[in-house]
Amino acid sequence: MRLAKLPGESTRGFLERLRDAVLLRISPAFRERRRLEKMVGPTGVWKALERYQVGCLKALGLRPQHHLLDIGCGPLQGGIPLIRYLDTGRYAGIDIRPESIAEAHRQVRKAKLQAREPFLAVSETFGRDELGERTFDFFWTSQLLYHLDDDLAEMCFTQVAARMRPGARLIGDFIPTDGPSERRSDNWQGFTFFHRPFSFFEDLATRHGMHMLRHGKLRQFGYPVRKTYSLSDNELLEFRKK
Ligand SMILES: C[S@@+](CC[C@H](N)C(=O)[O-])C[C@H]1O[C@@H](n2cnc3c(N)ncnc32)[C@H](O)[C@@H]1O
């Protein structure tokens, strides 16, 4: 194995890369963790992101008796601790990618949480075709909203609005910009990034009979802050029916 410091790379960054390269070679557990992390995004912060997801929702009022829909749930980084926290049958997770949901089922079995009866489904319609008559108190869109184009964002809000119990909230983060909405050419696993002004979500909320609350940056809720994880600067929003 040959690794050299890259131009402009800090010593700390190089040492982390070196450590990861060694662990990837010698530790099956590390390889497995890395495989899962790549299905979500940032690497090296799985536990911190688990804590962030549950801590954030609890801080905003989630209680064990609430019904929660995790939209874009991925391989259940937040889902597993949420299933543990919520009462039986209260967690539902949907994702557009079949491989995410297959992995989610695996993670539930691995954590021996089948008795908590989480509902998991592949959905291209934000649950329209899969969730039947289910309604929810919390809708969680972690690291998802900035991958939705205008039409998908509209569909997401339509589905959420139709399934809101009295007092329900939709909570999620987005990448802010001071300018107009902007589609970035970079993508993550085929998903585009959209940077949005606050007004994009204010307008969306108004069209769906909701009002919007700003909760500040993700770092205030424990999202890990690293030079490479600028998502900690994402803004957290809450939407409720008027
Ligand atoms: C960055 S990952 C975040 C996963 C998870 N929410 C978390 O924070 O740990 C984005 C997830 O959203 C899913 N996704 C993207 N577009 C979607 C859509 N239109 N409907 C449902 N899921 C979607 C992806 O498959 C992926 O699992």
Q: Which residue has the tokens 């085929």?
A: 190
Query: Is residue 155 within 6 Å of ligand 1 at its C-beta?
Result: no
Structure tokens at 147: 């991958």
SS3 45: coil
Per CATH, which fold does 44-241 belong to? Rossmann fold (3.40.50)
Report the pLDDT value the prediction gives residue 229, as an integer from 0 to 100.
Answer: 59
Report the pLDDT value the prediction gives residue 207, as an integer from 0 to 100.
Answer: 97
Report the pLDDT value the prediction gives residue 189, as an integer from 0 to 100.
Answer: 86
Report the pLDDT value the prediction gives residue 18, as an integer from 0 to 100.
Answer: 86
Q: Which residues pair with 169 in a beta bridge?
A: 138, 240
Q: Which residues pair with 216 in a beta bridge?
A: 236
Report the pLDDT value the prediction gives residue 185, as an integer from 0 to 100.
Answer: 74
SS3 230: helix
Query: Model's pTM, two decimal places?
Result: 0.93
Residue among 46, 95, 101, 139 whose CB has most ligand 1 atoms within 8 A, to mutate: 95
Report the pLDDT value the prediction gives residue 26, as an integer from 0 to 100.
Answer: 85
Report the pLDDT value the prediction gives residue 81, as an integer from 0 to 100.
Answer: 98
Strand bridging mode 68-71 / 91-95: parallel
Distance between Cα 133 and ligand 1 center (Å): 23
Query: Is residue 55 within 6 Å of ligand 1 at its C-beta?
Result: no
Domain extents in the chain: 7-38, 44-241
Amino acid at 155: M
Cα(180)–Cα(190) distance, integer angstroms: 23
Question: Quick one: which atom of ligand 1 is closest to the CA of 79?
Answer: 9
Distance between Cα 61 and ligand 1 center (Å): 23
Residue 232 DSSP symbol:
G
Report the pLDDT value the prediction gives residue 174, as an integer from 0 to 100.
Answer: 97
Query: Is residue 141 within 6 Å of ligand 1 at its C-beta?
Result: no
Distance between Cα 188 and ligand 1 center (Å): 11
User: 145: closest CA among 155, 130, 135?
Assistant: 155
Local mean pLDDT, 10-residue blocks, the chain (242 residues): 78 83 85 90 88 97 98 98 98 98 98 98 98 98 96 98 98 95 85 95 98 97 81 96 94
